[in-house]
Structure 1
Amino acid sequence: MRGKLKAILIIFILTLLVGLYLYKENSSIGVTFLEIESLRIPTSFDNYRIVQLSDIHDSEFGEDNSKLVNKVKQLSPNAIFITGDFIDGNRYDLEQSLKIIRQLQAVAPFFYVTGNHEISTNDVEFIKGKLDELGVHVLTNESIIIGDEVKIAIGGIDDPLSSSLAEEQYVEEALEKAFEDVPEDMFKMLLSHRPYELDSYVTKRIDLVFSGHAHGGQIRIPGIGALIAPGQGWFPEYTSGIHEKSGTHLVISRGLGNSIIPIRVFNQPEIVVVTLKSLSTE
């Protein structure tokens, strides 16, 4: 009898510890610092700092998202990129996520593209309108050119769920439209929700792409990596960090929120900070 009680106590303690770990893992926010070096980055954009927020899914970190807002303020970004799934189609609460924008409006300009969850609400034009009212640059298969004498382009494409075309075909056509008026020799950045279309980004010669969607694989196995991700299946390749192919750099955020699967394992919610480093001698 004593041995059975001891076993129950051990199981209870282990369950409690696992529960506490999962709560801490899912309610705290990590910050990942990355650098992108390139001869194509103008010297005027050396040390330009971008904060990437992805896959927020209407999550809340502290009252009115105070934990998230304060962390972003401390990072002093030059621009804030939101790479889709700002809201969650299963528990749609736009107002909760808009509080983030309102509190950070004065910190840096926002650039935004849709994810599949915005499209799935069938309310995407309303969402875009509300963001536009708050001064967010809503990029719908288009680019904005920034800078003074020497400029760079920031482009964005809608999530492929917005189209009846095959995904690869849609991405190729959206990229063509987004950068049709951008000079070939200009440094190009792209916001695109889905990371696994890397070949299309390479073909269009995009210098730097920001994506999310994979949630870091949701469950990460130490020493192995991500377990599963939408569009990629088991043990996916594109879930976090920097990937490079033929001169195109792809930055993938593990994201901040959860959707269908309510917890993350070995996969802390993440803010990504990318600093541009110019190798140019102009």
Structure 2
Amino acid sequence: MNRRSFLKKLIGSTLTFLGLTGGTYYYARNIEPSMLTIKKETITHTKIPASFDNIRIVQFSDTHIGFHYTLNQFEELVEKINKLNPDIIVFTGDLVDEPNHYNWNQRLINLLHSLHAPLGKFWIYGNHDHGGYGTEIVQETMEKAEFILLKNTHHVIENNLDRIILTGIDDVMLGKPNLAKALENTNSDLFTILLAHEPDYADHTIDYPVDIQLSGHSHGGQVRFPFIGHLYTPKFAEKYVEGKYTFESSNLILYVSRGIGTTRLPYRFLCVPEITCFTLKQK
């Protein structure tokens, strides 16, 4: 860690301690984690076919159910997503916080099943989904809710004879991601979206014919301060933390979601949870 990074984390940690033990503790612990923003993005691209013009894709990520995020809160989230009338829904990993300690139940399946998207519902593994021996039970839950798993594979989405490609990789930290395998037998002329839980994987994605990467994992840092920014992000979310990123050496565009829930510490400060509604536009 260089001197600048050390000072940033030292000052930030000190401010966090002083702030979260003072008047902002209640806000960061009880108010902001319950707030939710609906972020709207327009994706304009020459590869987007005519019949996909104005198609809506809603991304939600990192719910971490069980760690200070309840099924009642998740039910409210489902209602808000359905009100956006998405054509496609994508979940980019970390459904529950500790799969081996979570009380898996039919209500969770029913809520996931009640999400509506006529062109399909898709998901990928996050590190918490693989962790705690959760790999099989998370997959079983999502299958019962009619979500399609993209694990080093792709799905061709058709609409009025036009097609786009939605692909996904296994989790980078605890899985075995293989983007080359995921893109096998795909047409690089088709508009291609990649779901990758860890955003820093984008440095690998730029070498492949992918137009958009959607990621989560970072939580936006959870705790942020003016002029300092985020204090901490997990491995593989250290370079790309939140929002939109472009690359000089590639036409790839990366979008990183701040996600819904929290982990490790039940705080959010100046980092409101979010879902993102993408509208496709033919250029």
TM-score (norm 1): 0.83
CA-CA distance at 1:99 after TM superposition: 4.3
Aligned to 2:122, what secondary structure does the other structure show? strand
Pairwise CA distance, 1:217? 0.9
- What is the correspondence of 1:82-231 to structure 2 with a 5 Å cutoff? 82-89=91-98, 91-95=101-105, 97-105=108-116, 109-147=120-158, 148-163=160-175, 170-171=176-177, 174-231=178-235
Matches within 5 A, 1:15-26: 15=22, 18-20=25-27, 22-26=29-33
Aligned-pair CA distance for 1:64: 6.0
CA offsets per residue over residues 52-79 of structure 1, 9 Å max, x none?
Answer: 1100001546726332122112211111
Q: Is the 8 A contact 1:86 1:97 kept in 2?
A: no
- Which residue identity lines up with residue 109 of structure 2 in the other structure? L
User: 1:249, 1:93 → 2: CA distance?
Assistant: 38
Residues 87 and 97 in structure 1, CA contact (< 8 A), matched pair in contact too: no
One-letter code aligned to 1:46: D
Q: Which amino acid aligns with 1:221?
A: F
Structure 1 residue 261: Cα displacement:
1.7
Paired residue total:
257
Pairwise CA distance, 1:126:
2.4
Cα–Cα, structure 1 residues 157 and 93, in superposed 2: closer, same or farther, change >3 Å? Answer: farther
Q: Which amino acid aligns with 1:177?
A: K
Q: Distance in 2 between matches of 1:73 and 1:115?
A: 23
Distance (whole Å) between structure 2 residues aligned to residue 123 and residue 20 of structure 1:
32
8 Å contact kept, 2:199–2:236:
no
Radius of gyration: which is bigger? 1
Give the TM-score normalised by structure 2. Answer: 0.83
Gaps of 5+ in 2: 1-20
Q: 1:46 to 1:23 in 2, by over 3 A?
A: same
Q: Deviations over 1:95-124 (max 9, x none)?
A: 364343122146763100000001112131
Q: 1:278 to 1:93 in 2, by over 3 A?
A: farther
**Structure 2 counterpart of 1:167:** none
Equivalent in the alignment of 1:81: 90
